[in-house]
Amino acid sequence: MSKAAIIAGAAETNSLGKLPGYSTLGLHIEAAVNAVADAGLSFRDIDGIATVSAPGPVQVAHALGITPRWMDGTGVGGTSFLLHVRHAAAAIAVGQASTVLITHGESGRSRVGAARFAPGLSSPPGQFEAPYGTFGPTTAFTIPVLRYMKDYGLTHEQLAYVAVAQRRWAAKNPRAMFRDPITVDEVLASRLVAYPFHLLECCLVTDGGGALIVTSADRTGDFPKPAVHVLGAGESMETPMISQLPDFTESGAFRLAGAAAFAEAGITTSDVGHLMIYDAFAHLPIYGLEALGFVAKGEAGAFISDGNTEPGGFLPLNTNGGGLSYTHTGMYGMFAILESVRQLRGEAAAGVDPEISVVLGNGGMFATSGVLVLGRSPL
């Protein structure tokens, strides 16, 4: 079904970083304006809208003067935008929409017009996690990794190397927030945020946005930029509480979403020329590489520290610098998709010329996942 869809427009906000002059809604609007222009369209051409709450599809569509005939407010964390692409492709295939705008904007750093998030104390996380002093992703997303380290021998140096490898990509990208090379020793000397995680093993917190235009593959060639084909997509979920993740050494949601996307596209790992794995923290590329089957369980740390995913390696991973070095507004998934689109179009700052790019998104803290298989041609 997704084979019928293309990404025809893709853009970020003019700037990323510290943008106190924009509200969350303002970032959605600027990203939408840029994506519609990138596709050579106007808002009158948009008949479908998808974004997370808040602000949600109603606020965004109304602000842009769009009256959609299809809308999707799926809000399951930072991977939501990958799910929006999947849902939009399905809607387009059955004729519920023709041209879908997907927006992301988040004043993650400046917190202008931003939603507060704290679990209600009667919810399961409020009753069974918050009382022990959790305080956002740094205190919870991080908990599984000591178990992984003990069971599979991942070292502190290998975990730190994930940040080193990604900084090497960021150094090639003028829009990356952090570009100066770093060493394993420097990562391990940065201050502890939540042992075993140091500051440089945690993502940035920034303001910014991005947007996509998804439409029918029948319209390939009608747009100014090369089409990016949605070849396969998958989604899954696992747990609303990190303490209830069934196995702390793997993500079942990553595995299931990936298997669905690869099966729909009819590809295997050897077909993949470029990979984006949502990296809110340094362990996520490790969990992601193993869940997608690029390496066997327990091997991803050495795979990365052997140089396979950095510039010059055979599996280019997180080539924008990732959430660790490029940008991370809070819901990073949109930026991972946008880097894949740039790579497939030949527009990326550190281009690796892939035919097929895979995006693995995470939502919450191993709560949800989406995977997209994107390609330069329809398979």
Partner 1 sequence: MGKPVPKPVPKPVPEPTPETQPFWDGCAAGELRLQRCRACVRPYFYPRPVCPSCGSAEVEWFTASGDATLYSYVINHRPAPGFEADAPYAIAVVQLAEGPRMMTSIVGVPQTPEALSLDMPLRVTFEQRGDISLPVFEPAGEWRQ
Our CA angle for 176, 300, 373, nearest 5°, is 65
Asked if residue 153 binds partner 1 (CB under 8 A), the reply is no
Asked if residue 330 binds partner 1 (CB under 8 A), the reply is no
Measured CA to CA, the distance from residue 82 to residue 278 in angstroms comes to 11
Asked if residue 373 binds partner 1 (CB under 8 A), the reply is no
Q: Is 351 exposed, middle or buried (0-12, 13-18, 19+ CB in 10 A)?
A: middle
Q: Strand ranges (DSSP E) for 278-367?
A: 356-363
Which one, 73 or 298, has the nearer CB to partner 1?
298
Sequence letter at residue 2: S
Q: How far is the CB of 17 from partner 1 (least distance, A)?
A: 22
Which one, 43 or 135, has the nearer CB to partner 1?
135
Question: 275: part of which helix (H) or strand (E)?
Answer: strand 274-277
- Tell me if 275 sits within 8 A of 340, measured CB to CB: no
Give the Cβ contact number of residue 121 at 10 Å: 10
- Tell me if 285 sits within 8 A of 277, measured CB to CB: yes
DSSP-derived 3-state class of residue 131: helix
# binding residues, partner 1 (CB under 8 A): 36
Q: How far is the CB of 332 from partner 1 (least distance, A)?
A: 20
Token digits for 174? Answer: 């003028």
**Cα 109 from chain centroid (whole Å):** 18
Q: How far is the CB of 54 from partner 1 (least distance, A)?
A: 22
Asked if residue 122 binds partner 1 (CB under 8 A), the reply is yes
Return the residue of 8, 140, 317, 367 that touches partner 1, per CB under 8 A.
140
Residues 181-200 that bind partner 1 (CB under 8 A): 191-197
Asked if residue 24 binds partner 1 (CB under 8 A), the reply is no
Measured CA to CA, the distance from residue 47 to residue 215 in angstroms comes to 10
Which one, 212 or 286, has the nearer CB to partner 1?
286
Which one, 249 or 362, has the nearer CB to partner 1?
249
Question: Interacting stretch for partner 1, rule CB under 8 A, among 70-78, 104-112, 134-142, 365-373?
Answer: 134-142
Residue with tokens 């303002």: 26
Question: Interacting stretch for partner 1, rule CB under 8 A, among 13-21, 48-56, 123-131, 334-342?
Answer: 123-131
Residues 240-279 that bind partner 1 (CB under 8 A): 241-244, 248
For residue 46, which of 211, 276, 180 has the smallest C-alpha distance? 211
Asked if residue 120 binds partner 1 (CB under 8 A), the reply is yes
Residues 71-100 that bind partner 1 (CB under 8 A): none
Which one, 213 or 367, has the nearer CB to partner 1?
367
Asked if residue 126 binds partner 1 (CB under 8 A), the reply is yes
Residue 342's alpha-carbon distances to 72, 219, 227, 367, in angstroms, are: 25, 19, 11, 28
Return the residue of 20, 21, 124, 224 that touches partner 1, per CB under 8 A.
124
Which one, 121 or 263, has the nearer CB to partner 1?
121
Question: Interacting stretch for partner 1, rule CB under 8 A, among 122-130, 218-226, 261-269, 358-366?
Answer: 122-130
- Tell me if 180 sits within 8 A of 171, measured CB to CB: yes
Sequence-distant (6+) residues with CB within 8 A of 21 are none
Which one, 14 or 127, has the nearer CB to partner 1?
127
Token digits for 286? Answer: 């490790």
Which one, 252 or 313, has the nearer CB to partner 1?
252
For partner 1, the binding residues (CB under 8 A) are 120-122, 124, 126-135, 138-140, 142-147, 150, 191-197, 241-244, 248
